[in-house]
Structure 1
């Protein structure tokens, strides 16, 4: 899949599930993408938590093989039913706004849908995540257990057909999130 590079020539992002030897590179990407180590520490803690789902931590590589982006989906619960939390999505600063984040997010969400996961939630920028189909979670009766702007908490049904009922209620994040 080729994503458009908004700065220069197109970059042919290669997306794949995180492999056993990728943890240090993923940590470096997440650490570089945020002002503190908090998100990188979260990824490390989730990796050791029962919420971790093999195959739902994805990376975006440059054609030269450099890991430039990362997206993580882990188990959460919504109203007591299984769902996924998308967090964090990270891109090395040199590759931000060049399609790496979009490519890796789409790949991770596709993988989750293929696994039969019903729903993903994200707490993030309301200008960014709607491009993937996320809508305010409140429209589906989903809420956080803490104060958050309505437009920043979003949800995305992954079952496509709508055959299975979607969960609603309060999101229960895994312990490493600290909420």
Structure 2
């Protein structure tokens, strides 16, 4: 199996839509979320990453800008959402490759905090930990503590940043 992990290009958009559609049970929500994020200033093209096999897009990961707000202080962070792998290609390590690539690219861009809402037994293997334990809060979505997670890409940075994660308006379209 030869999977190529690369940055999404415009001609991938239709296939990326399809990957998100089928990966999330033939529903449009995540595919439409990707499209809305692409239209905003929170979109960073290097953080829209695809997995390609034999010329076909089989996976997609998107990280985009968000903010942690604490009074007057604002810190730019990234949120991981969505990540999708076609059902027939799941359980082959494609999601893992996409996540590691995304986290590495965040570091290269000089950003060291990534947050997500995700499965509590999957994401810890990538360094994600319950975010509320670090003084981070999420009010926009009501989620259990164990699914609201943060990954610190520069050790100690979470000691200096506390506050509420604010997802951009694209997440509420």
What TM-score, normalized by structure 2, do the two folds share? Answer: 0.90
- Moved >2 Å (runs of 4+): 161-167
Gapped runs of 5+ residues in structure 1? Answer: 1-10
Query: Does the 8 Å contact 1:57/1:71 carry over to 2?
Result: yes
Check if 1:60 corresponds to 2:70: no
Q: Following the alignment from structure 1 to structure 2, what is the Cα–Cα distance between the partners of residues 166 and 96?
A: 37
Residues 1:31 and 1:163: Cα distance change in structure 2 (over 3 Å)? closer
Residue 87 in 1 paired to residue 81 in 2? yes
CA offsets 1:85-109 (integer angstroms, 9 cap, x no match) = 1000000111011111111111111
Matched-pair contact (CA < 8 Å) for 2:61–2:102: yes
In structure 2, what is the Cα distance between the partners aligned to 1:163 and 1:86? 18
Confirm or deny: 8 A CA contact 1:33 1:93 kept in the other structure.
yes
Q: Contact 1:13 / 1:103 at 8 angstroms: preserved in 2? A: no
Is the contact made by 2:20 and 2:30 (CA closer than 8 Å) also made in structure 1? yes
| Aligned pairs, number | 167
Bigger share in strand? 2
